[in-house]
Structure 1
Amino acid sequence: MAFVGTYDHTLDGKGRLVLPAKFRSHFADTAYLSPWAGCVALWTAERFEVMVRRLETEVRAGATDANVLRGLAARSEEVRPDAQGRIMIPARLQSFAKLERDLVVCGAIDWIEIWNAPSWDDMADDLDHSVAEAFRQGSGI
Structure 2
Amino acid sequence: MFLGTHYQRLDDKGRLILPAKFREELKDGLVLTRGQEHCLTLFSLGEFEAVHEEMRKAPMTKKEARDYLRVFLSGAASETPDKQGRITVPQILRRYAGLDRDIAVIGMGNRAEIWDAPTWERYLSETEGGFAERDDEVIPGIL
Determine if the TM-score, normalized by the shorter chain, exceeds 0.5: yes
TM-score (norm 2): 0.87
* Secondary structure in 2 matching 1:78: strand
Q: SS of the counterpart of 1:109?
A: coil
- After alignment, is 118-127 or 8-17 more displaced? 118-127
Instruction: Name the residue aligned to 2:20.
Output: 21
Quote the offset at 1:138 in angstroms. 5.6
- CA offset at residue 27 of structure 1? 0.5
TM-score, length-normalised on structure 1? 0.89
2: CA distance, partners of 1:64 / 1:123:
26
> Counterpart in 1 of 2:105?
105
Identity of aligned residues (%): 33
Match of 2:128 in 1: 128
SS in 1 for 2:57: helix
The structure 1 segments of at least 4 consecutive aligned residues displaced by more than 6 Å after TM superposition are none
Contact 1:35 1:93 in 2 (8 A): yes
Is the 8 Å Cα contact of residues 31 and 43 (structure 2) preserved in structure 1?
yes
**Runs of 5+ consecutive residues of structure 2 not aligned to the other structure:** none
Per the TM alignment, residue 123 of structure 1 is displaced from its structure 2 partner at its CA by: 0.3
DSSP 3-state at the match of 1:13: coil
Deviations for 1:100-138, whole angstroms, at most 9, x for unmatched residues? 11111100122111110110011012331232133x336
Contact 2:34-2:71 within 8 A present in 1 as well: no
Number of positions where the alignment pairs a residue of Structure 1 with one of Structure 2: 139
For 1:71 and 1:138, how far apart are their aligned partners in 2? 30
How do residues 8-87 of structure 1 correspond to structure 2 at under 5 angstroms?
8-37=7-36, 38-59=38-59, 65-87=65-87
> What secondary structure, in the 3-state scheme, does the structure 2 residue paired with 1:121 have?
helix
Contact (CA 8 Å) 2:34, 2:75: kept in 1 or not?
A: yes
